[in-house]
Amino acid sequence: MLQVDDLHVSYGAIKALGGVSLRVKAGAIVTLIGGNGAGKTTTLRTISGLLRATGGAIRFLDQDIGALPAHRIVARGLCHVPEGRLIFSNLTVEENLAMGAYLQNDSAEIARTRDYVFSIFPRLKERFRQTAGTLSGGEQQMLAIGRALMGKPRFLMLDEPSLGIAPRLIGTIFEKIVEINRDHGITILLVEQNANLALEVSSYAYVLETGRVAMEGPSSELRANPQLKATYLGG
Amino acid sequence: MYEFLQQLLNGLSLGAIYALIAIGYTMVYGILRFINFAHSDVFMAGAFIGLNVARYTHPGTFLGGFIVLGSAMLGCALLGMTIERLAYRPLRGAPTLNVLITAIGVSLFLEYSGQKFFGAAPRRFPAIFPVREFTFGGAITISSNQLAVIGVTFLLMVALQLVVFRTKIGTAMRAVSLNPRAAQLVGINNDVVISFTFGLGSALAAAGGILYALNYPSIDPLMGVMPGLKAFVAAVLGGIGSIPGAALGGLILGVVETFVAGSPWSTGKDAIAFGILIVILLFRPAGLLGKSGVEKV
């Protein structure tokens, strides 16, 4: 479904990615793990069109999307829930969700999708008229995911969904991510600091180190890998 | 007492015009974080479009008046969108200072193009609406032109409020101004929203230009300079980036200026706006309704 080949990205003179290649099959949950500055967020931002690659190719559903602006990539069904959530803090929950459906025109369908989002995150329904900035970290993450779902994505990229969230909510968020994937066949590319959790929910994983893929394989195998265990999984 | 009410009325009608212009400054600032100095010349262009359309309509009728007003608003909306497309869009991502200098360039370009095409001499603006004077209590006089200013401004403010808070494109405008990157990620084409914002702001400035010309019926290509600067002060006074702030700032400035003009210190009526600017920047730089925060320009 998504095919990234030899991706190179630089911030000015600083090289962030030096040839990242990865594949995501339709219906899978694939994760990207690695330390700070390994290039995980940069990879997602480049795929979603927020950054331009200096080399390499990005193909989504067998079409080259490397030169498209971000809003046209969303229109193709590839949606990015960015790090730090980036919800519209002065807008209400209702308006945030409405903006998620910006490209949708069928109001009956939008209402159905919204009901679906409420069924996954009932908390959002309770907070419907509230300004998004007043939500807790976990609720904001729910809103960010809900907003992305409003756009009826086929492919969802999640950047650090566990960041800045109360520990008891992390489990809930990850259960919901698995549910979204299972019930609606939405393919997921997950970037996560918490490698244990990421390997648990995913079927395939890539380990990034300083802008390159250092290791890849089925998540269950990587979990047993002694080298990885020592570095990322806390022994 | 009568004089006080009379001056208040005069001040509100002047302030309403400042408010209309100030909203354009504040909306563009809200999204692109720069002051569009060419905005005051769009105001001037509105008056000149009105002058030229008025040749073909019946003067002194409501229908004719609204045709003039509508065409000026439409013409300026297109002008504003063209300015954004040609002058500002190529500078997206450039330092704010570059855009600011470009805005001053566009402003001078419009002013001196105006002089080239329309001549530098002041022109008389016709009475496009029916003119009547109403007298209350034997002492307060209000002209239908002043009423038109207050009435039209009020209607436009209500319409603007509906657009910004009740429509998809209005919500998108607020989304882009809060977080342009997140807006892209939900599929908003920021360029379309920015273009729309310029169109909307410019249409309001055109309405301001027509209403100004009705009450001060001598127009020339540099007529935008002073009202433009004052509307800019109004936007800062209300809190730059805040639409209700711009409206409030405009009204306050109009009233204060009118009272100063009617006092023994009348020669200071233009100085007062800039005095207010200095005071507000010293003591409340975020403005009356603005949020404080540090901004690098």
Q: Is A82 in contact with B184 (Cβ distance < 8 A)?
A: no
C-alpha angle B154-B160-B164 in degrees, rounded to nearest 5 = 150
Distance CA B230, CA B19 (A): 10
In angstroms, the Cα distances linking A164 to A117, A138, A193, B102 are: 22, 8, 12, 41
Summarize pLDDT for B187-222 with one digit per residue, the tens. 999 999 999 999 999 999 999 999 999 999 999 999
Q: Is A91 in contact with B188 (Cβ distance < 8 A)?
A: no
pLDDT of residue B209: 97
| B193 contact A CB<8A | no
Summarize pLDDT for A186-232 with one digit per residue, the tens. 999 999 988 889 999 999 999 999 999 999 999 999 988 888 877 77
Amino acid at B123: R
Q: Which positions ≥6 away from A86 have C-beta within 8 Å?
A: A144, B179, B181, B182, B185
Q: Is A99 in contact with B188 (Cβ distance < 8 A)?
A: yes
The answer on pLDDT for B295 being more than 60 is no
Distance CA B231, CA B20 (A): 8
Distance CA A191, CA A48 (A): 14
Summarize pLDDT for B89-133 with one digit per residue, the tens. 999 989 999 999 999 999 999 999 999 999 999 999 999 999 998
pLDDT of residue B105: 97
Residues of chain B with Cβ-Cβ distance to A98 below 8 Å are 168, 171
Pairs of residues, one from chain A and one from chain B, whose beta carbons lie less than 8 Å apart: 68
8 A C-beta contact, residue B240 and residue B290: yes
pLDDT of residue B137: 76
**DSSP-H helix ranges across chain A:** 40-47, 70-75, 93-100, 107-120, 122-126, 137-150, 167-184, 195-201, 219-224, 226-232
Band of pLDDT at residue A41, cut at 50, 70 and 90: very high
CA distance B77 to chain A (A): 24
Comparing CA positions, the residue from A57, A103, A99 lying closest to residue A76 is A103
Summarize pLDDT for A128-166 with one digit per residue, the tens. 999 999 999 999 999 999 999 999 999 999 999 998 888
Q: Is B174 in contact with A88 (Cβ distance < 8 A)?
A: yes
The answer on pLDDT for A35 being more than 90 is no
What pairs with residue A212 in β-bridges? Answer: A209
Distance CA A52, CA A58 (A): 11
pLDDT of residue B296: 41
Whose tokens are 């020592």? That residue is A230
Distance CA B113, CA B221 (A): 8
For B182, which of A69, A88, A98 is closest by C-beta distance?
A: A88
Distance CA A12, CA A202 (A): 34
Residues of chain B with Cβ-Cβ distance to A76 below 8 Å are none
Which residue is closest to A133 within chain B, CA to CA? B178
Q: Is B185 in contact with A50 (Cβ distance < 8 A)?
A: yes
Look at residue A126 and give its three-state secondary structure: helix
The answer on pLDDT for B293 being more than 70 is no
For B185, which of A70, A89, A91 is closest by C-beta distance?
A: A70
SS (H, E, C) chain B: CHHHHHHHHHHHHHHHHHHHHHHHHHHHHHHHCCCCCCHHHHHHHHHHHHHHHHHHCCCCCHHHHHHHHHHHHHHHHHHHHHHHHHHHHHHCCCCHHHHHHHHHHHHHHHHHHHHHHHCCCCEECCCCCCCCEEEECCCEEEEHHHHHHHHHHHHHHHHHHHHHHHCHHHHHHHHHHHCHHHHHHCCCCHHHHHHHHHHHHHHHHHHHHHHHHHHCCEECCCCCHHHHHHHHHHHHHHCCCCHHHHHHHHHHHHHHHHHHHCCCCHHHHHHHHHHHHHHHHHHCCCCCCCCCCCCCC
The answer on pLDDT for A76 being more than 50 is yes
Residue of B92, B167, B185, B242 to mutate for A, most A C-beta atoms under 10 A: B185
CA distance B176 to chain A (A): 9
**ipTM, 2 dp:** 0.89
For B179, which of A71, A86, A150 is closest by C-beta distance?
A: A86
pLDDT of residue B297: 40
| A54 contact B CB<8A | no
In this structure, which long-range contacts are made by residues B133-141, counting pairs with CB atoms below 8 Å and at least 24 apart in sequence? Answer: B137/B2, B139/B2, B139/B3, B139/B6, B140/B2, B140/B5, B140/B6, B140/B9, B141/B6
Query: What does DSSP assign to residue A50?
Result: S
pLDDT of residue B73: 98
What pairs with residue A5 in β-bridges? Answer: A57
Distance CA A208, CA A204 (A): 13
Q: What is the pTM of this model?
A: 0.90
pLDDT of residue A234: 67
Q: How far apart are the first and last CA of chain A?
A: 34
